[in-house]
């Protein structure tokens, strides 16, 4: 057996001969720490030492095996108990497993192999459990919002204050903001900084799931509920048990499904499709949308009663263009991240690059800033990102044109030129469309301000 994760193993066995047998085998892995106990009393007095594994003889002289097992599980349910008995007795075995024993083995010639296999499996479980704990801590750190969300503008500070309030309470949170403002990041920050952090965070993008599937995705279904339902499936609400469900793009939800969601929120229970019974749910709800839900209510596409149920604590994420110097702080953060990920040192933004970034309107917000910053880092020839390295690919061409900061005369020339190209150089038509005199256009053509083909 290879030396891997050391386990603290307590052997509880009144037969000294057998106790030695177990100890010898368990010590084959030199990293294991094995301690022997010949009776339940001595063992229970040392339970505070928190062993990883206990091998428990079912028939101890001073206490029944199931009583000892109960005491162990009451003290710490993570201690794995391996029940060992002299006789094979199915009902005893089932009883012990129900009480939380990890496994049950009989003293026979196969004991050694079974013991070593089971302890190895327990070791893997312990390792996985520790890994999960470490990862959870890391996620918690990652979503420590004061670090994950960069910025010190007045607008983002107001958001921080609201996130802090959301972390301390179980209130439903509705996050609104333009695309790319970090709605999911905020939802995760709330979850991983709340007392639900040890439970699942389940994101559901309402707009990304086909209409026909969304009900079963959210509420689950029973076997045979519809064609293709070959097995029972738990929905996202059940998956998020004890944790948080994040309903992204809630504004896109079908009006019929809204009624079902409302019922779930009111009753705090779900009914799987094709199921008769209800399943109670303990789930915190965070929803997000880039739409103005109040407008959707007015337009009749979003239920008013659901709107008020979901509103809870509203957090409006500011668009990047309203976040003053945060643009540069965040861009610097992304430059650092890029350098770290790519093993590059000392890359920085030049003053003109920063200026170009400040002037831009960032329709894609932080998501766009990240993409632009990363691209500019790639384009940089030396250790400085220059203005020419900052390339915008925004789909908003009007904003792009306005950003060029031309004179009004130049803009006029550009507009008329574009219209003439569009309307086959028909000056009368263009004059009518733009509501300008045809002589203005003719004069510009005459002065070669506008080029007319053919």
Burial of 174 (0-12, 13-18, 19+ CB in 10 A): buried
Distance CA 184, CA 93 (A): 47
Residue range at the interface with another protein (CB under 8 A); choices 10-18, 222-230, 245-253, 365-373: 10-18
Assess 417 for contact with another protein (CB under 8 A): no
Residue range at the interface with another protein (CB under 8 A); choices 13-21, 214-222, 292-300, 314-322: 13-21
- Which residue is it, tokens 């000056």? 427
Phi, psi (rounded to 5 degrees) for 176: -120, 155
Residue of 16, 49, 267, 421 interacting with another protein (CB under 8 A):
16
Distance CA 110, CA 123 (A): 20
Residue range at the interface with another protein (CB under 8 A); choices 15-23, 91-99, 170-178, 307-315: 15-23
Residue of 4, 5, 24, 280 interacting with another protein (CB under 8 A):
24
DSSP state of 180: T
Burial of 28 (0-12, 13-18, 19+ CB in 10 A): exposed
Burial of 109 (0-12, 13-18, 19+ CB in 10 A): exposed
Q: Which is nearer to another protein, 20 or 418 (CB)?
A: 20
Residue of 33, 67, 92, 111 interacting with another protein (CB under 8 A):
111
Q: Residue 173 CB: number of other CB atoms within 10 A?
A: 28
Assess 112 for contact with another protein (CB under 8 A): yes
Assess 411 for contact with another protein (CB under 8 A): no
H or E element at residue 83: strand 80-85
Contact (CB, 8 A) for 100 and 71: no
Assess 184 for contact with another protein (CB under 8 A): no
Assess 107 for contact with another protein (CB under 8 A): yes
Query: CB of 28: closest distance to another protein in angstroms?
Result: 9
Query: CB of 204: closest distance to another protein in angstroms?
Result: 52
Which residues are CB-contacts of 279 (< 8 A; sequence separation ≥ 6)?
Answer: 238, 269, 270, 271, 272
Assess 423 for contact with another protein (CB under 8 A): no
Assess 21 for contact with another protein (CB under 8 A): yes
Assess 14 for contact with another protein (CB under 8 A): yes
Q: Within 359-378, which residues bind another protein (CB under 8 A)?
A: none
Q: Within 37-96, which residues bind another protein (CB under 8 A)?
A: 59, 61, 86
Which 3 state secondary structure label does DSSP give 106? strand
Assess 2 for contact with another protein (CB under 8 A): no
Contact residues toward another protein (CB under 8 A) are 14-18, 20-21, 24, 59, 61, 86, 107-113
């Amino acid at each position: 057996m290879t030396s891997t994760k050391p386990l603290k193993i307590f052997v509880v066995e009144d037969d000294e001969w057998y106790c030695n047998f177990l100890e010898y085998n368990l010590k084959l892995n030199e990293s294991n720490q094995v301690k022997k106990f010949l009776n339940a009393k001595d063992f229970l007095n040392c339970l505070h030492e928190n062993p990883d594994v206990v091998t428990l003889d079912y028939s101890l002289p001073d206490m029944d095996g199931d009583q000892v097992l109960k005491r162990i599980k009451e003290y710490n349910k993570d201690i794995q108990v391996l029940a060992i008995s002299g006789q094979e007795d199915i009902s005893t075995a089932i009883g012990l497993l129900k009480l939380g024993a990890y496994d049950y083995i009989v003293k026979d010639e196969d004991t050694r192999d079974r013991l070593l296999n089971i302890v190895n499996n327990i070791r893997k479980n312990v390792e996985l459990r520790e890994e999960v704990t470490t990862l959870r801590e890391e996620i918690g750190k990652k979503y420590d919002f004061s670090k994950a969300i960069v910025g010190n503008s007045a607008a983002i500070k107001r958001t921080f204050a609201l996130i802090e309030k959301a972390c301390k309470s179980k209130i439903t949170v509705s996050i609104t903001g333009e695309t790319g403002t970090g709605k999911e990041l905020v939802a995760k920050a709330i979850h991983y900084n709340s007392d639900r952090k040890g439970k699942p965070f389940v994101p559901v993008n309402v707009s990304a799931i086909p209409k026909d599937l969304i009900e079963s995705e959210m509420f689950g279904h029973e076997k045979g509920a519809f064609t293709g339902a070959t097995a029972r499936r738990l929905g996202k609400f059940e998956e998020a048990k004890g944790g948080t469900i994040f309903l992204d793009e809630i504004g896109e939800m079908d009006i019929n499904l809204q009624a079902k969601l409302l019922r779930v929120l009111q009753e705090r229970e779900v009914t799987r499709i094709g199921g008769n019974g209800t399943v109670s749910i303990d789930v915190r709800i965070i929803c997000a949308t880039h739409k103005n839900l109040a407008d959707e209510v007015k337009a009749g596409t979003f239920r008013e009663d659901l709107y008020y149920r979901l509103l809870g604590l509203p957090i409006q994420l500011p668009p990047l263009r309203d976040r003053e110097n945060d643009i540069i702080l965040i861009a610097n953060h992304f430059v650092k991240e890029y350098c770290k990920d790519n093993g590059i040192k000392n890359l920085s933004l030049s003053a003109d690059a920063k200026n170009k970034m400040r002037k831009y309107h960032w329709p894609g917000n932080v998501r766009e800033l990240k993409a632009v910053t990363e691209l500019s880092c790639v384009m940089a020839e030396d250790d400085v990102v220059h203005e020419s390295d900052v390339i915008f690919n925004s789909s908003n061409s009007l904003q792009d044109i306005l950003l060029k900061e031309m004179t009004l005369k130049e803009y006029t020339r550009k507009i008329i030129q574009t219209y003439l190209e569009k309307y086959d150089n028909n000056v009368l038509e263009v004059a009518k469309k733009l509501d300008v005199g045809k002589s203005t256009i003719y004069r510009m053509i005459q002065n070669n301000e506008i080029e007319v083909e053919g």
